[in-house]
Chains A and B, each alone.
Chain A
Amino acid sequence: MKRRQFLRAGSSSILSLPLAFQGIKIGAFRNTIFDQLLSDETDRVFVLIQMNGGNDGLNMVIPLDQYDKLMNVRSNIMLPEADILSLTDTLGFHPRMTGMKSLFDDGRLNIVQNVGYENQNRSHFRSTDIWDTGSRAEEVLTSGWIGRFMDQRHAGYPEGYPNEANPHPIAITLGPTVSETCQGMAANFSIAIQSADSLREIPGQDGQHMPEGPYGLELEYIRQIKRQTNQYADLLVEASEKGVNQSSLYPDPGNNQLADQLRIVASLIAGGLETKIYVVNINGFDTHANQVEDGDTTIGDHSTLLGWLSEAMEAFMDDVQKLGLSKRVIAATRSEFGRKIVSNGSFGTDHGDAAPLMVFGECVNGGIIGENPIIGDQVDPRDGVAMQMDFKNVFASILVDWLGASESDIAQIFSHDYQHLDIVNPCDATTPARAAQERITTLKAYPNPFIDRLVLEFHSMGGHAEMVLLGADGREVSRLVDGAYQAGPHRLEIAVPEMPAGMYYYRFRQDQVSTGGSLVHF
């Protein structure tokens, strides 16, 4: 807890310091940020928590300094001030969120205020599409932002998957259908499961014949799902049997939809599944009516949902900690919109605009990003909470700091000017997921220092390989290698583009395995 407070106080990202020019020893650097850069592709897990229906942020994270103003316009649903769990002098949680308050106090929860996007669309479906795809309001995309990120790393997916380097599902959705956020150009990167044992081996011949037209396209889709199912069915059961949940804080199964899903997620990670992304769902936030109960605003549908959220997150965080996974897992919430500031007469709220978003984990900078929303003396009944932070900044920052996306990756994923947020902190000591790491340690880059040319020697595992030069701030400066290399030894001489003198780091990556080192440029 003390360490967290220190990090919260020194909130600027370590990555943004020009380390190379401050005389910090390379050795020290290697132990922290550089290892982080290397381990990006190994074992980090991101859990996306979808709060479906449009969450009333004002009833979840309550701006205490606006309490009286809110009372003027939503008195029929306002929580009693005394019951609110205060986080700071000006911000508090709904009384049901005791578990999340302790996560916050412990520095394992970051609240990003007033998250949304410009020109908020108040249709559930359009707005969900915007959050799924990471588009701007006026832009229609058919792939998801995680899908595009994975497309960059897994060119050609699903052809040839699973394979030696990627034996496990890339992403898993808990629930009835695959997550649109994981939709890539050619296929969805997630498989949908209800439980670890919900996949069955499907018998029979698939046939090779590919009929023309839509019939052939749909047939090929089903064949592909069938192949995946057969390949993944046993793996999931094995992982869940190996990974035994350690937290006693989970409610009994069947009482909390979110906790039930997170329990499975924790067990699969602990059981050795190398899946990077999990998408879980909590439904019911479309509280047009009975958001609170007449006569007692601390109970009602929204209260129940927030209680579940809080209880589930506390148990999940406790579990990953006890399982020794807390440096490998972060989670973030999302909801398609907040609700209107003015309540309606049905003890509910209608579709609005921005709302808080929360990020959980040991490797998260605990605290608050952004200011409390300001509620005016007069509130137009149509108004929602104004957006101050674009949700794409939050997810882009997570992709960069947690999953190893580069600046240029982000530019391809989002057509949006990206602003980096210090949500993720450089949590050290991640453990490499696989022994494969060692297979490309024969990598050599020389001369060092280098001037205008670099020689690269490496042993390819086959398939696509890339090498990028990173500046001292961890951002990509140049992409020196980007192509397919047959299995076996390779030696490349590379002309280096002009760039400022200084310390650079190179990262070599093939499939999910990375290695690298540092170089000085004159």
Chain B
Amino acid sequence: MGGFSTFSLAPYSGEWTIVHAAHLLRRTTYGSTPDDINLVAQMGMESAMEQLLSDAPLPALPINYRNPDDTVAIGDAWVNQPYDRSIQNQIGERLRSLNAWTIGNMLGEGLSIREKMVLFWHNHFVTSDIRDASYVYKNVTLYRTHFLGNFRSLTKETTIDPAMLIYLNGRQNSNQQPNENYARELLELFTIGKGPQVGEGDYTNYTEQDVAAIARVLTGWRDIGFYSRNGEEPTAAFIPFRHDTGTKTLSHRFDNIEIEDMGEEEYAHLIDIIFTKDEVARFIARKIYRWFVYYEISSEVEAGVIQPMADILIAADYEMYPMVKALLSSTHFYDAYAQGAMIKNPLDFTISLFKELRIDLGTEILEQYGWWNRIARLPFLLEMRYYDPPTVAGWKAYYQEPLYYRSWINSSTLSFRYVINQTLINGVRVGDRTLSANLLDLVADIEDAIDPNKLIEGIASYILPGGITEEQLQDLKSALIPGLPDYEWTVEYEEFLSDPSNSELKGSIENRLRAVMNGFVSMPEYQLS
């Protein structure tokens, strides 16, 4: 494969510089500022890891931010509040608020891996197009609460999660009429994965017999509280008379185990059985690898990285924390070839752009929600909708060969990416406010910014994974000071620094910086993380 030099999960023990800190933050957060990167560089790897992986209180509940209705006043949380006769309006408004709130969480994530793990779980245990936002809130809160929690427990909770019961037809699955939808995906996509087909209906790790038997095990569950008029919290309910009480026999892939009737405990017992197979650990380890490192899993990666990750996971009884920590602390993760090899997904692209460009969204919560709502539409244009993955397998970037991450980039989406970043750099008027980059703030964080070479190299080291070549430096410099000697920048920028109230000069400096940032974000390198 393309040149990794280390295939080891052994802890990285080399020098810890801003290059390493920037790589770690690019992969674990939705963008960072030079200050963040400098801070993590000073912390050292071990403390940085503790900080990034640590638990934090849940964000405040999403609120109704613009449209009064009979049950939720503006500024109040709508989660588990009743729907009433304005339900058509409430459905749309609550979903909009949820999407806006999600963007707010990512923008405000701080030095934490949590938001990237929440999306990891959402992409793993996919639900989509659930129209009751309280259901979606409950589902995603499960993953936000246990973002590095126990994989087995998360699988159990997901199996009877109300949104999942809707999405994969668990609510329709009964002793009279078993519905296999969830059973199949539980095996194929959520736990053990599908191996090569080695016989009729035999996929190495499980068989069609298991799909049918597990559908029966999972009969009897329904969700309660959809579009509730009484403000019920969405819950799962076990309806004994809809449950198949017969004996279910798994295939030889699960040692022909017979599952006797255990009523509402049966699903958990089944998941314990699935998790006795070590392939489950390798399956989730590969997904974590593709989420944080690279998509190609060579035999060296499988042996040197995936299997040791799986061993750690099993030793920790399926707690995710030690495995994720080991990966992000490994020599393999900091291999020079791991850096820059990931195409940013649309959320990563959008949120990191807002952070890097220091775009001011105000301090007033209702106004912020308004902006977040607008920002939430941008990844839509780039073919990624939070709470609406295209299929139950999630986004193609994380499973579909041979394109993987490359599936984010095609002529249309690349065009849109440029339209978005140029619009934000040049400023866009929305209502009575202008949304634009605060490039002076960005430059203020760059050391020796009075030297145009240092300024450009400094920006490059923060926003590009692989730095720039001499040729690119010269190109960018000619955008900053076209045809002028270097000292002209030094003179004018120093003049501005000594008198920031000189608004004319300020405007001119900003124009120069805009030109250079347009050059930066137009580089194909900017799409990489």
Chain B residues whose C-beta falls within 8 Å of the C-beta of A217 in the assembled complex: 2, 341
Minimal beta-carbon separation of A65 from chain B (angstroms)? 27
Is A240 positioned at the interface, with any CB of B under 8 Å from its CB?
A: no
- Write out, one digit per residue, whether chain B residues 504-529 have a CB within 8 A of any chain A CB (1) or not (0): 00000000000000110011110110
A232 to B411: give the CA distance in the assembly, Å.
Answer: 9
Q: Which residues of B contact A178 (CB under 8 A)?
A: 403, 407, 410
Q: Which residue of B lies closest to A137 (CB)?
A: B197
Complex Cα–Cα for A219 and B523 (A): 10
B218 within 8 A of A: no
Which B residues are in CB contact (< 8 Å) with A122?
184, 208
A192 interface contact, C-beta 8 A: yes
B57 within 8 A of A: no
B294 contacts partner chain A, Cβ-Cβ < 8 Å = yes
B337 and A351 contact, CB distance less than 8 A: no
In A182-208, the 8 Å CB interface with B consists of: 183, 188, 191-194, 198-200, 202-208
Give the CA-CA distance A194 to B200 in the complex, in Å. 40
Interface residues of A in 114-158 (CB under 8 A from B): 119, 121-126, 137-138, 140, 142-143
| Interface stretch (choices B65-73, B144-152, B388-396) | B388-396
Q: Are B519 and A191 in contact (CB under 8 A)?
A: no
> Smallest CB-CB separation from A198: which chain B residue?
B412
Q: Which of A142, A232, A344 contacts B178 (CB 8 A)?
A: A344
Q: A204-B523, A289-B172, A344-B179 are in contact. Are A225 and B411 (CB under 8 A)?
A: yes
Answer whether residue A177 sits at the interface, using C-beta atoms and an 8 A cutoff: yes
B523–A123 touching, CB < 8 Å: no
A70 and B393 CA atoms in complex are apart in Å by 32
Which A residues touch B392, using CB under 8 A?
124
Query: Chain B: which residue is nearest A177 at the CB level?
Result: B407
B399 in contact with A215 (CB, 8 Å): no
Q: A218-B405, A288-B181 are in contact. Are A209 and B391 (CB under 8 A)?
A: no
For residue B341, give the distance in angstroms from its CB to the closest CB of chain A: 3
Cα distance A384–B226 in the bound complex, in angstroms: 34
- The interface residues of chain A lying within 8 Å CB-to-CB of B196 are 138, 140
CB distance from B27 to the nearest CB of A (A): 13
Q: Is A205 within 8 A of B472, CB to CB?
A: yes
Which residues of chain B are within 8 angstroms of A288 by Cβ–Cβ distance? 168-169, 172, 179-181
A228 CB–B CB distance under 8 Å: yes
Q: Say how far A341's CB is from chain B's closest CB, in angstroms.
A: 14
- The verdict on A214 contacting chain B, using a C-beta distance below 8 Å, is yes
Q: Smallest distance from the beta carbon of B312 to chain A beta carbons, Å?
A: 24
A 276-308 to B, binary, CB cutoff 8 A, 1 in contact else 0 = 000000000000110000000000000000000
Which residue of chain B has its CB nearest to the CB of A207? B472
Q: Give the residues in chain B near A140, CB-CB below 8 Å.
A: 196
Residue of A nearest to B519 (CB): A204
Check if A193 sits within 8 Å of B412, measured CB to CB: yes
The majority secondary structure among interface residues of chain B is: loop
Question: Are A218 and B406 closer than 8 Å at their CB atoms?
Answer: yes
Nearest-neighbour CB distance to chain B for A312, whole angstroms, equals 21
Asked if A345 lies at the interface with its beta carbon under 8 angstroms from chain B, I say yes
**Would B415 and A215 count as touching, CB distance under 8 A?**
no
- B172 CB contacts on chain A under 8 angstroms: 288-289, 344-346, 348
Contacts of A222 in B (CB 8 A): 343, 409, 414, 524, 527-528
Does A229 belong to the interface (CB within 8 Å)? yes
Least Cβ distance of B367 to chain A in Å?
Answer: 30
Bound-state Cα–Cα, A354 to B258, Å: 32
Q: A119 — which chain B residues lie within 8 A by C-beta?
A: 197, 200
Per the bound structure, the CA–CA distance linking A213 and B390 in Å amounts to 30
Q: How far is the CA of A202 from the CA of B422 in the complex (A)?
A: 10
Which of A138, A228, A232, A289 contacts B179 (CB under 8 A)?
A289
Judge whether B162 is part of the interface by a CB distance below 8 angstroms: no
A167 interface contact, C-beta 8 A = no
Q: A342-353 toward B: CB 8 Å interface, digit per residue (1/0)? A: 001110101100
Q: Would you list which residues of chain A between 340 and 387 have a CB under 8 Å from chain B?
A: 344-346, 348, 350-351, 381-382
Given known pairs A207-B469, A207-B472, A212-B3, the reply for A289 and B341 (CB within 8 Å) is no
Asked if A225 contacts B400 (CB within 8 A), the reply is no
Are A207 and B528 CB-contacts (below 8 A) given A122-B208, A177-B407, A213-B336? no
Q: Check A211–B180 contact: CB distance below 8 A.
A: no
* B524-A123 in contact (CB<8A): no
Chain B residues lying within 8 Å of A253, measured Cβ to Cβ, are none
Report whether B528 and A218 are in contact in the complex, using a CB–CB cutoff of 8 Å: yes
Question: Counting CB contacts under 8 A, is B401 at the interface?
Answer: yes
Distance in angstroms between the alpha carbons of A212 and B528 in the assembled complex: 14
Q: How far is the CA of A232 from the CA of B414 in the complex (A)?
A: 13
Closest A residue to B476 by beta carbon equals A205
Mask of B426-467 contacts with A, CB within 8 angstroms, 1/0:
000000000000000000000000000000000000000110
Contact A213 B341 (CB under 8 A): yes
Chain B hits for A314, CB < 8 A: none
A500 CB–B CB distance under 8 Å: no
Asked whether any CB of chain A lies closer than 8 Å to the CB of B366, the reply is no
CA distance in complex: A178, B408 (Å): 10
Closest B residue, CB atoms, query A132:
B400
B3 x A226 contact (CB < 8 A): no
Residues A183 and B403 in contact in the complex (CB < 8 Å), given A212-B3, A212-B337, A214-B337:
yes
Within 8 A of A (CB), among B360-403: 383, 390-393, 396, 399-403
The answer to whether A345 and B176 touch across the interface, beta carbons within 8 angstroms, is yes
Given known pairs A142-B402, A232-B411, A288-B181, the reply for A214 and B338 (CB within 8 Å) is yes
User: B528–A219 contact, CB under 8 A?
Assistant: yes
Pair A199/B415 contact, Cβ less than 8 Å: yes
Asked whether B212 is an interface residue with its Cβ less than 8 Å from the other chain, the reply is: yes
Question: Which A residues lie within 8 Å of B409 (CB)?
Answer: 221-222, 225
Query: Does B350 count as interface, using CB distance less than 8 angstroms?
Result: no
Judging by beta carbons under 8 Å apart, are B197 and A124 in contact?
no
Say yes or no for A85: interface residue by CB 8 A criterion: no
Is B194 part of the contact surface with A, judged by Cβ < 8 Å?
yes
**Bound-state Cα–Cα, A205 to B339, Å:** 22
Assuming the A-B contacts A193-B412, A346-B177, are A211 and B466 also in contact, with contact meaning beta carbons closer than 8 angstroms in the complex? yes
Query: Which residues of B lie under 8 Å from residue A212 when comparing CB positions?
Result: 3, 337
The smallest C-beta distance from A373 to any residue of chain B, in angstroms, reads 19
* A350, B180: Cβ atoms closer than 8 Å: yes
Once bound together, how far apart are the Cα atoms of A91 and B74, in whole Å? 59
- Contact at B2–A214, with CB atoms within 8 Å? yes
Contact of B523 among A177, A193, A207, A381 (CB under 8 A): A207
Indicate if B241 sits at the interface (CB-CB under 8 A). no
Given the contacts A213-B4, A215-B466, A200 and B415 also touching, CB distance less than 8 Å = yes
Binary interface profile of A, 394-425, with partner B (CB < 8 Å = 1, else 0)? 00000000000000000000000000000000
User: Is the CB–CB distance between A214 and B415 below 8 Å?
Assistant: no
Q: A125, A216, A222, A381 — which one has the most chain B CB atoms within 10 A of its CB?
A: A222
**20 other contacts beyond A180-B400, A211-B340, A219-B525, with CB at 8 A cut-off?**
A137-B197, A138-B196, A176-B412, A177-B410, A188-B403, A192-B411, A193-B412, A200-B419, A207-B471, A207-B525, A214-B337, A214-B341, A215-B466, A218-B342, A222-B527, A229-B414, A288-B168, A289-B172, A344-B178, A382-B208
Q: Which residues of B contact A (CB under 8 A)?
A: 1-4, 168-169, 172, 174, 176-181, 184, 188, 194, 196-197, 200-201, 203, 208, 212, 294, 296, 336-343, 383, 390-393, 396, 399-403, 405-407, 409-416, 418-419, 465-466, 469, 471-472, 475, 518-519, 522-525, 527-528
Subset of 24 A-B contacts with CB under 8 Å: A122-B184, A123-B188, A125-B391, A176-B383, A183-B403, A191-B411, A192-B410, A199-B415, A203-B418, A203-B522, A204-B518, A213-B4, A214-B338, A215-B340, A217-B341, A218-B340, A221-B409, A222-B527, A223-B524, A289-B172, A345-B176, A346-B179, A351-B184, A382-B212
What 8 A-B pairs come out closest when comparing CB atoms? Answer: A345-B177, A204-B522, A214-B341, A346-B172, A213-B337, A215-B340, A213-B3, A200-B415
